[in-house]
Amino acid sequence: MKTLGIDIGSRNTKIVIFDQSQAQIAFKAWQATEINPSSAVDKLIQAAAPSQEIQDIASSCVTGYGRKMYKRADAIKSEIVCHAEACKYLFPEVRTVIDIGGQDSKIISLNEDGEIIDFVMNDKCAAGTGRFLEMTAIKLQCDLPKLSQLAAESDTDIPLNSTCVVFAESEIIGLLATGNSVPNIARAVHKSIARRIYAQMSPLQCQAPIVFTGGVAQSADLVYCLANLLNTELLIPDDPEITGALGAAILAK
């Protein structure tokens, strides 16, 4: 039996086809979320058609920012439940999940049996999210992969004090104007996001192993900064972008 998981995020839409009998991913794809989220989902399903996997779908589940906008799924699940389920599948020993997406961040605490104990979510402020990184990349005139590469070349710590994206943008412009190097500014932004996530984790009893997922987990330098602050190794899925869709597909059975 194959199931379809759909994650409609604020920035990207993802799908996963999961083979329940083999307990493995049969197909995965993602693209930018469009004005009409259903259109993005339809395009991804069409992309899966040549693989023949889509013809054997028994049920489907949708999650994410736009989950209530897509009416053709058999079930709707929260992002918290889907990310926890996928991380438990990928890393059975997981006790904490950090998910940073385009416009929100979530921390999920699990017990020894992989059940959700508690969670916190920031969906009111873009600080500590992918939007913050996108703004930084624009100001530093590079793309997101290059931003991570540049930050790794940092040789001096500089403070980034603003916790608001709007104010941080002005602060970055000021740092450039006073001659601070692009690598040092990039590292300062990553450290700022890491501190924000660390503070967000404080209400929970977070334990290792910790899985870091979501599109932002593709930033190697942010992974480095966050791991240093938490003083522990972070487990990263091979494709952190599709974790929510994977969890939805697993739960669609």
pTM, to two decimals: 0.93
* Mean pLDDT value across residues 52-65: 90
Residue with tokens 């920012």: 65
Query: Confidence class of residue 122 from pLDDT cuts 50, 70 and 90?
Result: confident
Asked whether the beta carbons of 3 and 249 are under 8 A apart, the reply is yes
Tokens of 173: 């412009």
pLDDT of residue 246: 98
Catalogue all structural domains in the chain, each as residue range(s) with its CATH number: 2-124+197-251 (3.30.420.40)
pLDDT, one tens digit per residue, over 187-218 is 999 999 999 999 999 999 899 999 999 999 99
Q: Hey, CA dihedral for 102, 10, 82, 57, is it positive or negative?
A: negative
Asked whether the beta carbons of 5 and 252 are under 8 A apart, the reply is yes
C-alpha 146: how far from chain center: 18
Tokens of 212: 């870091």
pLDDT of residue 143: 92
DSSP character at residue 54 = G
% of the chain exceeding 90 in pLDDT: 81
State yes or no: pLDDT of 250 exceeds 90.
Answer: yes
pLDDT of residue 163: 67
pLDDT of residue 160: 87
In the chain, where does DSSP find H-type helix?
Answer: 37-48, 79-90, 130-139, 144-151, 165-177, 182-201, 220-230, 243-251
pLDDT of residue 69: 92
% of the chain exceeding 70 in pLDDT: 99
Q: Hey, CA dihedral for 182, 183, 188, 191, is it positive or negative?
A: positive
Tokens of 185: 């500014």
Ramachandran area for residue 159 (φ above 0: left; ψ -120 to 50: alpha; else beta): beta
Average pLDDT, the chain: 93
Query: Confidence class of residue 51 from pLDDT cuts 50, 70 and 90?
Result: confident
Asked whether the beta carbons of 101 and 216 are under 8 A apart, the reply is yes
* Mean pLDDT value across residues 73-92: 98
State yes or no: pLDDT of 54 exceeds 90.
Answer: no
d(CA 55, CA 36): 24
* Integer angstrom CA distances of residue 216 from 4, 76, 99, 226: 24, 24, 8, 12
State yes or no: pLDDT of 232 exceeds 90.
Answer: yes
Name the residue type at position 91: F
